Amino acid sequence: MSTGLSMTAPDRLEPIRRFVNTLDMEAGTDALQDAAGLRGWLNAAGLRPDRPVSDDELRRARELREALRTAASANHNKAALPPATVAVLDDVAKRAGISLSFTSGREWRLTAQADGVDGALGELVLRVVESMTAGTWPRLKVCAGDACRWAFYDSSRAGTGKWCSMKLCGNRAKQEAWRNRRRTTG
């Protein structure tokens, strides 16, 4: 669902949330439907691929999107990531040629060396790394509603949010549970 309530993530993590939500399951729309769509999205996000996008790159971008959705979903109960998900993230990092360098200011920096889509997708996984380091990553989640799966930032105090919106998906789940209870008891 896409009512865009107060579910936005901290600045550097927000593009990841938006990337996952390029697929809107409820509306049945996909901003990454074709190569032009991916290029447009990356440009708008300031991750300019600077050249035409191939079908192979489109496929990898969509794979990354689902890997991130799975990873965010695992944040609900700190579940282990499936090996296939880890493999996709690793592959993106490898193709992006991520390198570590140190600065004179006694800090370090990770950068994606590759250009084009590989570099742009690398920039996205670097945002995940950054978020993991900052401790905000565990709060990026996807709605527990099977038909929804919308990515949201869980800003609840306890960090136990399950739904993109309590009003919509949360209530829908409660009603279903209530109907099921009534069916089994009555």
Closest approach of Zn ion to the CB of residue 102, in Å: 43
Residue 171: Cβ within 10 Å count? 12
Q: How many residues bind Zn ion (CB under 5 A)?
A: 6
Contact present, 87 and 60 (Cβ < 8 Å): no
Using CB under 5 A as the binding rule, the residues of this chain from 150 to 179 that contact Zn ion are 150, 164, 169
Q: 75-94: which residues touch Zn ion (CB under 5 A)?
A: none
Q: What's the rounded Cα separation, in Å, for the pair 167 and 172?
A: 8
Question: Rounded to whole angstroms, how far apart are CA atoms 120 and 125?
Answer: 9
> How far is it, in rounded angstroms, from Cα 31 to Cα 45?
13
Nearer to Zn ion, 57 or 154 (CB): 154
Q: Shortest Cβ distance from residue 147 to Zn ion (Å)?
A: 8
Which residue from 23, 148, 151, 173 is in contact with Zn ion, where contact means CB under 5 A? 148
Measured from the Cβ of residue 95, the count of other Cβ atoms closer than 10 Å reads 18
Figure out which of the listed residues 93, 143, 151, 173 binds Zn ion, where binding follows CB under 5 A.
143
Q: Where on the chain is the footprint of Zn ion (CB under 5 A)?
A: 143, 145, 148, 150, 164, 169
